[in-house]
Structure 1
């Protein structure tokens, strides 16, 4: 394979040293087959519990969240800092809440979001105004014509008390009450299995990364079309196109509406010894910042190429906070040096692919006035995998949104991206086969 042939012994040693510090918990992954997925969404099983309503009451001293279920479920609740959040882990749930639920909070809860975080597991994340104590968590039986209910009471505390609570009793024991009549963690998933690596298949691996998913909607259009759905549809179509070509193995970081932490996306690419990692997104500008149009291709850089690139990177890098996961500590200074050395060659290949991608995409879709940019996206930080992030367009722009929802546009643009991947990897394979 071209990637392996191009790496020399010192480079491999450096990557191996950095890997232990760089890699995180495993995430779900789906290897492509010749058959397309039946649906872009996780099937809704009738047996899954259903949430029908959620409401917040109280003030800035004490606040209560009440969630209506059609049956009792086990749960686990805990708090996180910076930003302050309360996370409620649940088995897989059908969320059938009214439109706009969670957008407006009250008291200690600024807002809340909910969704699937992995097959078999859902999550509710409460965004808080400050540090809190989880005073009570109960799952109540249905009674007197009322449904089963989750009731969680929050009380304001100071920062020192909050930090101390996190440090004691298995880090968050005081903030994780058990559910009456059931063990709090029963039925709550602990993590997805490590994907199998096909060592006997010599074809280069292309990892496609549809952004966001599950609890993380990404950007949304004015009429509520979510970025996570747009980019998943595009990634599935691109996967199918590449599989039909037969030249590559194609792996998706997600093939359904599931939340995958940023660093797990990177780890999938590294565990699969990927020759290329392509993260797929769609941007949106806040109304006060005017209008913008067209696709943009990003590569990794410590310094953003402009203010808009920095804004986008900052927004995308908050995905793990949105999902409620603990953010990983940054590598040590030694690991930084090792990773920087390993990334030098990788950055060169990433830049070459970005140039090829721009050349092919501009034949199929409108490009941004500055189509090539760079910023510090965490999802592009694999030290040994050439990586780019594509912003297909702006859901905040009417013309772009019309394209993003068009099957005809999608097919044409998918073809251009597939052509760029083929051209780039074919050249690397030829180069790897030449005598040094």
Structure 2
């Protein structure tokens, strides 16, 4: 037998060994189900099976009673599938069995029939292989808020709308602190405090993008803000680093590189042509005009993002340490809204033991939320959107000088000149005393 024939025989013998029951090809050893998680968001229930490797599966529904059946080929289970009912949505129970040798069957009992979507995910970060099953209630009403024409929003003295996004959530815990504090939990607590602080400010209203423990894809987050016609998008996070001594908060805006890539994606994606960019649809525009309109919208959005980020950063410096002495720029996907000014706030380093403790402290959470809210308010007092209550009821702004303040620094924060600051307060020089109340010119 020639060498070539021997190799062909070996390959053919190996191929026969990969045939599984039912004619399916099994290309790997049996996958063990190592974990099970369930989360519910306003639109769906998501169930996740953690696997030791990729597995072929079959999924179908049954009636009377309603249930979902998942048959995993060549898989096994070493422990029970426990879950918390409070997060389980329309899933009322989970059980498993073996309908035949080599098949693991998992059954979700449902409170009502649901529409299904499933997909397998490859390992990423701390997660291994996962089978994800999304269940959408058939009786649920559509929760999407339609994007309205700009003319519909021109009612007089409307509130300024601030969309607040708590990062991570659900199956994505974010960073973990030395004491296993989960980023998703502390940033949700801060986001809720920020929502309260914004709602307590005259002429302002907060919208929580995530109000519970569930995951929302990044682009869906800023699209929700656009659907609510938000004037500002604020994403809340808690940073992490391998060096536990690194500390301090940060404020980020979208980098120019990130803006350029999103610009190209929106022009290339025909679905985005139906979007409203700054109140104007691109659907009926030719490529050149669409490009110009999108460029104008993104440039204005980036400029506004930079200004509000500087205002929030200055306010945060009054309540604690910042990681750097300036606003930073990065290619964060969640900041890529073309027409809603967006910032990302890293409140502290959860990897630093002292800051991890602060992140869990409700008093500190309120303090940080208050600082962010003041920075947001300062921005809108000087740049109120037309037709808002703030624009119609602008009042003099006063600032009490704190230790370390300089006249130039205060002027930069409020985007006024040092000259106008001196004129408004009758100052002949740049010396200011701690505790002095300065009038900030608004024109």
Q: Where on the TM-score scale, by shorter chain, does this alignment land: which range?
A: 0.5 to 0.7
* Counterpart Cα distance in 1 of 2:292 and 2:53: 38
Structure 1 counterpart of 2:363, from 375, 393, 408: 408
Q: Please give the alpha-carbon distance, in whole angstroms, between the structure 1 residues aligned to 2:46 and 2:330.
A: 31
Task: Report deviation, 1:413.
Answer: 1.7
Distance 2:180 2:227 in 1: 35
2:136 is the alignment partner of 1:188: yes
TM-score between both structures, scaled by the size of structure 1: 0.55
Residue 86 (structure 2) aligns with? none
Task: Mark the structure with the bigger radius of gyration.
Answer: 2
Aligned match for 1:386, one of 337, 341, 346: 341
SS at match of 1:396: coil
Aligned to 1:349: 304
1:121 paired with 2:121, answer no
1:256 to partner: Cα distance:
1.4
Q: CA deviation at 1:258?
A: 2.1
Give the CA deviation at 1:303: 4.0
Aligned mates of 1:123, 1:238 — CA distance in 2: 30
Match of 1:29 in 2: none
Contact 2:32 2:53 (C-alpha < 8 Å) held by counterparts: no
Q: How far apart are residue 115 of structure 1 and its match?
A: 3.1
Cα offsets for 1:24-75 (capped at 9, x unmatched): xxxxxxxxxxxxxxxxxxxxxxxxxxxxxxxxxxx97243455xxxxxxxxx
Q: Match of 1:323?
A: none
> 1:139, 1:179 within 8 Å by CA — same for their partners in 2?
no
CA distance in 2, matches of 1:357, 1:294: 14
Q: Residues 425 and 154 from structure 1, CA distance in 2 versus in 1: closer, same or farther, beyond 3 angstroms?
A: farther
CA distance 1:204–1:356, change in 2 (3 Å): same
Distance 1:128 1:195, change over 3 A: farther
C-alpha contact (below 8 Å) 2:237/2:344 kept by paired residues: yes
Shift of 1:185: 3.7
Number of residue pairs the alignment of both structures matches:
281
Distance in 2 (CA, whole Å) between partners of 1:117 and 1:409 is 28
Match of 2:383, SS state, is helix
CA contact (8 A) 1:346 1:384 kept: yes
User: What is the RMSD of the two structures over their aligned residues, measured on CA atoms?
Assistant: 4.1
Q: Deviations over 1:156-186 (max 9, x none)?
A: 9xxxxxxxxxxxxxxxxxxxx9979998847
Residue of structure 2 in register with 1:237 after alignment: 193
SS in 1 for 2:46: strand
Pick from 28, 31, 48 the counterpart of residue 61 of structure 1: 28
**What secondary structure sits across from 2:253 in the alignment?**
strand
Written as runs of structure 1 = structure 2, the 5 A alignment for 1:10-409 is: 61-65=28-32, 102=35, 114-118=38-42, 121-124=45-48, 126=50, 132-134=55-57, 136=58, 152-154=71-73, 185=115, 188-189=136-137, 193-195=143-145, 199=153, 202-285=158-241, 287=242, 291-303=245-257, 330-333=265-268, 339-409=294-364
Task: Give me the whole-angstrom Cα distance separating, in 1, the residues matched to 2:329 and 2:338.
Answer: 16
The separation in 2 between residues aligned to 1:347 and 1:366, in whole angstroms, is 26
